[in-house]
Amino acid sequence: MSEQNNKLSKKPREAKPKVEDVAMNHLEEDNLKNLFIFLEFLKSIKLNPRWHATNSWSINHKDKKICYIQLREERSWKIMHNSLLFEKYDKYVDDELKEFIWNNMDSPGCAPNCNGKRMTIMDKKIDEVCYCWPFKINNADGATLEYLKKIIEIRKNIIADWF
């Protein structure tokens, strides 16, 4: 890949590029394939990434955030969830999915003022969790993609049920 293609999108806000277009020039083959699998899944449940900020797209349902997709400088992609709605997960998740979520809570440090905090996620107290984006997955593939699909559907159902 050329040096020019190796750079993330620097397009102005007005351009609002599609995640697919930016990813084509940024991600390596395996990460690109997995991101496209995830994007196809989103389309299949009628969710479309909407440009949020440079190299960041939000996934919304009924104008409520489900998650964000980010393309990162290190030629990677990331899914991020905020802590909202975790308290409503209990009726939707089994123990295996709870373990996956607990094991993927991120430590603080996403920003200079992110000192983290203690959070209760589905009845489990977790120390030192990133307050901004507590749940993050980098370069999802295989089983991780399947878990993410379940989580996205759960968040969509919670929004439909509660809002």
Q: Write down the pLDDT at residue 13.
A: 58
Q: Write down the pLDDT at residue 39.
A: 98
How large is the average pLDDT for residues 87-111? 83
What are φ and ψ of residue 73, in 5° steps? Answer: -55, -35
The verdict on residue 43 lying in a domain is yes
Between 151 and 1, name the one with better pLDDT: 151
The verdict on residue 5 lying in a domain is no
User: Would you say 122 and 90 are in contact if contact means Cβ atoms under 8 Å apart?
Assistant: yes
pLDDT category of residue 3 using cuts at 50, 70 and 90 = very low
The verdict on residue 6 lying in a domain is no
Residue 136 amino acid letter: K
The verdict on residue 2 lying in a domain is no
The verdict on residue 1 lying in a domain is no
Overall number of domains in the chain: 1
Q: Give exposure, 76-105, as e/b (b: 16+ Cβ within 10 Å).
A: ebbbbbbbebbebbeebbeeebbebbeebb
- Name which of 104, 85, 73 is nearest 159 in CA terms: 85
Strands 64-72 and 50-53, by their bridges, are: unpaired
Q: Write down the pLDDT at residue 9.
A: 63
User: Would you say 49 and 58 are in contact if contact means Cβ atoms under 8 Å apart?
Assistant: yes
* Predicted structure pTM score: 0.85
How large is the average pLDDT for residues 122-140? 85
How large is the average pLDDT for residues 14-22? 89
Which residue range forms the structural domain that includes residue 27? 13-162
The verdict on residue 102 lying in a domain is yes
